Chain A
Amino acid sequence: MGSKSTIMNKVRSSLSVNGGDADRKKAVAKRLNKPPQGIIPKRGQLNEDARRDLFIEMAERVQATTDRVNSADDVPTAVANYLRNHNLEQIIHVGSDPRVSAMPWDKAPQLEVLDDICTRADSVTLTHAFAGVAESGTAIMTSGPDNPTSNNFLPQTHIVVLNAPDIKGDYESVWQRLRTVHGKGTMPRTVNMITGPSRSADIEQTLILGAHGPRALHVIVVG
């Protein structure tokens, strides 16, 4: 407590304020209660179909791969095909997301779907996105038993399922929805904005994919 009051006193004396100023308090409370929007790039302000197309274009530009399916029922086959085409074992790790459990996995009988956190370095996981952002091809993931955060980072290959109507034009629209779902001013433990697969350019500025997170990011857009 000693340090806190010392630091606060230093901040206030440097700013020549005493902390009791009603106008300053009002300005802060107002901003926190009703966050001003700021500048929203025109790039993402499109109709739903065009937002989906822009998301796919932007995600591919940052070395993600994408696939489009008509409905959630088509996801199991799309996953099995992706694994086969990349010579990967037919095993995926998922969380307990009801949207994922409800998918007809019997359509891909050779595929093993494990409800756990992956441990092997060459694993493949599938997590369901909370939302997508068209302006930069970003997938937004929220933590919890449905989609454990570890499954976004530990696997070699990360498959993301994203519902097309959840693709917004900009980040700000996603925060609005997050407040509706999780309550104002509260957040899940972790929110991940993911824009392409992991990478590093730390050795002579040569870009290499797969630094510590997934080497490959595959987004299946539903709808």
Chain B
Amino acid sequence: MVEVTTPNFKENTKAALADANLQKALGKVRTGFIGKRADAAAALPEFENLRDKARDIKNHTLAHLDLYLEAYEKKVTDSGGHVHWAETATDAQQIILDICRKVDAKTATKGKSILTEEIGLNDFLSKEGIEPIETDLGEYIIQLRGEAPSHIIAPAVHVTKQQVEEDFRHYHTHLDKDRNLDDPATLLNEARAILRQKYLDADVGITGANFLVAETGTSIIVTNEGNGDLTQILPKVHIVLASLEKITPTLEDVSQILRVLARSATGQDMSVYTTFSTGPKRPSDPDGPEEYHVVLLDNGRSDMLGTEYEEMLRCIRCGACMNHCPVYHAVGGHAYGWVYPGPMGAVLTPSLIGVDKGGNLPNASTFCGRCEAVCPMRIPLPKLMRHWREKEFEKHLQPSAARYGLKTWAFFAKRPKLYQFMTRVGIGALGLIGKNRGSFSSLPFAGGWTKHRQLPAPQGKTFQQMWAQRQSTASGSGRGA
């Protein structure tokens, strides 16, 4: 597994906010993704209905997951492929290693797969003497930098062009050191040329899967670069790593979800390449892999079924939630401390690594609701984060100050008369003291708040007082009904 720094979320965010390069790179997230998604969604009148349909398809699939998994496995086997079942990350690592060892693999090219990050596959294979080579441009960049992805579809979104140039100069030492690398296109061409040879040399190609089709035993990947395709056509062996919930019943069902996937992710109607792979190459095929393996990973998913977090298993990893998240915009993906950032990460991380380690994430939300508003699978992300906050409270995982604070508030909240009296007194006093200043720059017990912003002075009355006043004025003037 990848090192988990989620418990240090607060320290991570401080570092992220102070990182000038990161803040520059994040500026582009705020402006880029949102408008493109909005335009693509608006251009398809059926978009909102397709979101409902996509949600219903996944709900049906999850309710019948055992049966669809069996149907899928049979189809893969019938087409000459192999299905391997992995309960844990360690099981999946070992299965993949065994397949690689059988063909005496020295290198393995990889299409972008966030699930291989979840099981820490690169480090594992490297230690076992097999060199993993990331081929997605963004993944290639962060592999050079020794970093983890900071976004599920744009893994190097935190890196600036200047940093990529520095990395390429540092690692591509066989090239002319005075070459011009000002233009992103030149950087891309350099990576293209270097990786082309790697595809041809690799013994094994490893990809993830956006969908597994039960009807046909097909795995599907969606990419824009074509790297996932070269990864799976050229080597002798194609290994697919996919988690259980990627199962989708039919090609028609896949088509419904495809219509919301790219639009939500990048604002494209369709990604450039949607590739359906079924079994190994056929006897008459001039190309394609001789072996086709699917590693089906559970790693905590089956525990989410039948719980309040089951809805999270509808996620298709489009990244729309983080693209629209003010918290993600401010701190980027690395601060979340594990593989999955943003709102989807705030729900999934505690499910997969435990709320004791991941509990900070569902608390790092303003509950503004934008994630749920744009989620193509209509996952109620804020609600699921709230469930985690409750779990955290039940398990006594919060700091004692937070627990006592909540308890004190609950005491008053359960006694409305007392609550109203206390707030009247408090607000009245604050209003009086702050009358001339207009706002407070420091307050006892609220240093955490006033350290970064001013607290506006109340106008002297509570909301309930003003509401009552308004109601009586309204009925007095005859407009009450």
Contact = CB atoms under 8 A, between A and B. Distances in A.
Interface stretch (A6-14, A67-75, A105-113): A6-14
A36 B136 CA distance: 35
B287 to A, nearest CB: 5
A187 B287 CA distance: 16
5 contacts: A38-B252, A143-B281, A204-B28, A204-B184, A214-B226
Contact of B193 (A28, A121, A178): A121
B58 interface: no
A153 B233 contact: yes
A117 B286 contact: yes
A201 interface: yes
A199 B251 contact: no
B229 interface: yes
B297 to A, nearest CB: 9
A115 to B, nearest CB: 10
B63 interface: yes
Contact of B225 (A145, A148, A150, A200): A200
Interface of B: 25, 28-29, 32, 44-46, 49-50, 53, 57, 60, 63-71, 75, 79, 84-87, 91, 135-138, 141, 154-157, 159-161, 164, 184-185, 187-189, 192-193, 195-196, 199, 214-218, 224-227, 229-230, 233-234, 244, 249-253, 255-256, 258-259, 266, 268-282, 284-288, 296, 298, 302-307
Contacts of B282: 144, 188-189
Contact of B224 (A38, A58, A198): A198
Interface size of A as a range: 35 or more
B75 A194 contact: no
B224 A145 contact: no
A163 interface: no
Contacts of A197: 272
Contact of B69 (A11, A37, A153): A11
Given A191-B276, A211-B137, A211-B226, A171 B255 contact: yes
A135 B161 CA distance: 35
A35 B250 contact: yes
Contact of B154 (A14, A28, A202): A202
B305 A205 contact: no
A142 to B, nearest CB: 9
Contacts of B53: 38-39
Nearest to B75: A185
Nearest to B276: A191
Interface of A: 3-4, 6-8, 10-12, 14-17, 19, 24-25, 27-28, 31-32, 35-39, 41-43, 58, 62, 95, 117, 121, 135-138, 143-145, 148-150, 152-154, 170-172, 175, 178, 185-206, 208, 210-214
B192 A211 contact: yes
A198 B225 contact: yes
B63 A15 contact: yes
Given A28-B68, A185-B215, 15 more contacts: A3-B84, A38-B253, A185-B75, A186-B79, A193-B270, A193-B275, A196-B272, A197-B272, A203-B161, A203-B164, A206-B184, A210-B188, A211-B137, A211-B227, A212-B135
B188 A211 contact: yes
B270 A195 contact: yes
Contacts of B249: 28, 31-32, 35
